[in-house]
Chain A
Amino acid sequence: MTHTLELVGLERRYGERIALADVTLNLGHGATLVVFGPNGAGKSTLLRVLAGLLRPHDGTLRVLGHRLPDEDWAVRGRIGLLGHDPLLYRDLTGRENLRYHASLHRVDEPRIDEVLEAVGMERRADEPLRSLSRGMVQRLAVCRAVLHDPELLLLDEPRANLDPAAGALVEPLIGRASGRTRVVTSHDPVGGLAEADLVLGLRAGRPELLEWAADVDPAAIAELYR
């Protein structure tokens, strides 16, 4: 059986400092992995390694059945990354940004309107990003991340700048209901646990907790931040 994610002893260093080490887990298709951990624990590093933006230093990594970094050509365009950075140009409008990414991903024009409408941004889509609030930019970043209908979503605190209404709007795109395999980082034990199948707790780059969501004691998550 092929898993969407297969990690064995994954390690990434920053010079001599360990950013991520000994991460071993499998994630099946359509499942959600929620990653907890204090700032600097390696959550963002993990997402960037999974996205193929950072090469692992040790261990093996298979994403969507392909070994990274050797076969990264085979997974590019099948992953949606939503990080702290929206990855959008501030001087362009939302629509121009999405059109740019659409042509890089060979996505049709109607899909742009579709995602803009889904996040309720169709009215503000023709204003430059620098005139929009952070929450609106985040909604456009969601559009960018799901524009090409990725099979794997990597979400770094996706709801950080969103109000509850906007959070509900993006739910069908990046939430559990999207049916995509997801890796989500979170600082919210309750909300994070609710959407998780598998929970990974990181501290100083190392896994401290790896459990089924149903078996996780919320106190164990709080312990990570101590």
Chain B
Amino acid sequence: MYGKGLRALSITTALVMTGAFALVFFWAPEDADQGFSQKIFYVHVPMAIIALCGFVAGGVMAAMHLRTRDSRWDMRSYVAIHLSIILGVGVLLTGSIWARVSWGHWWVWNEPTLVSFLIIFLLYCTYQPLRFSIQDPERQARYASVFAIMAGAFVPLNFMAVRLAQQYTHPRVLGNIAGNLPGRMEWTFFASMLGMTLLFVTLWKYEMTSKHASSQLRRLKRLLGEGENPAGRRSAAPAAAETAAPV
């Protein structure tokens, strides 16, 4: 059911991403201070924004899970957070590269966005270990949801605190994200933003489809009586949709 329209979505994503990259490299003007290296901004910032939105969305989905007790919400939340963690690695890497070429250091503490992202990333790194160390799948889902809600609320709060903690703000391109960018930069930024959003949604749908398919497969195997010993299978990923799967 998550596979519906996936092909069209994938093609759109590929086209938009290609277009956005073309704009980044051939159309957007070079930054007066930072030159060519500033172009990593078009990857780094949308990626950070999408990852943060993914974390918050994971929290909202987790709240839906606790409200409805429908395990599919837990799986949606899990996939969103899981993808955001992967994007988070990308954010920290690109941010670090950007810091290196712009300021000559691999890490800068006066960049509040990057610093608060690191804190949030460190927190979410415990999401998988938390899931893994709870054996009962139902409790695992519930506890993971409580974590996701807590961490989701933490994201904006932490941002505020870290931002306030910077005594002086560095002159940055993203002072007011895209607000005071010159026109071409602004359009390129929006194209990258759109591409990244589509990429996230596509990946999310892919993973949901595959999780759904494998749980269906396990259910069928179990019905045929040749399923693996369920007690022997231990996983940090939710395996719940099979119990409530509308085929």
**A residues whose Cβ falls under 8 Å from a Cβ of B:** 13-17
Give me 15 other A-B pairs in contact (C-beta within 8 A), A13-B243, A14-B136 excluded.
Answer: A15-B135, A15-B136, A15-B137, A15-B138, A15-B230, A15-B231, A15-B239, A16-B137, A16-B222, A16-B227, A16-B230, A16-B239, A16-B242, A17-B230, A17-B231
Contacts of B138 in A (CB 8 A): 15
Contact-size category for B: 10 to 19
Query: Nearest CB to that of A16 among chain B residues?
Result: B230
Give the complex CA separation of A15 and B239 in angstroms.
Answer: 8
Contacts of A17 in B (CB 8 A): 230-231
Query: Nearest CB to that of B235 among chain A residues?
Result: A15
Kindly count the residue-residue contacts between A and B in the assembled complex, taking CB atoms under 8 Å apart: 18
18 pairs, CB–CB < 8 Å, chain A vs chain B? A13-B243, A14-B136, A15-B135, A15-B136, A15-B137, A15-B138, A15-B230, A15-B231, A15-B239, A16-B137, A16-B222, A16-B227, A16-B230, A16-B239, A16-B242, A16-B243, A17-B230, A17-B231
Chain B 223-241: CB-based contact to A (< 8 A → 1; otherwise 0): 0000100110000000100
Contacts of B135 in A (CB 8 A): 15
Contacts of A13 in B (CB 8 A): 243
Chain B 87-106: CB-based contact to A (< 8 A → 1; otherwise 0): 00000000000000000000
Query: Nearest CB to that of B231 among chain A residues?
Result: A17
**Chain A to chain B: the 10 pairs with minimum beta-carbon distance, closest first:** A16-B230, A15-B137, A17-B230, A17-B231, A15-B230, A14-B136, A15-B136, A16-B222, A15-B239, A16-B239
Chain B 128-145: CB-based contact to A (< 8 A → 1; otherwise 0): 000000011110000000
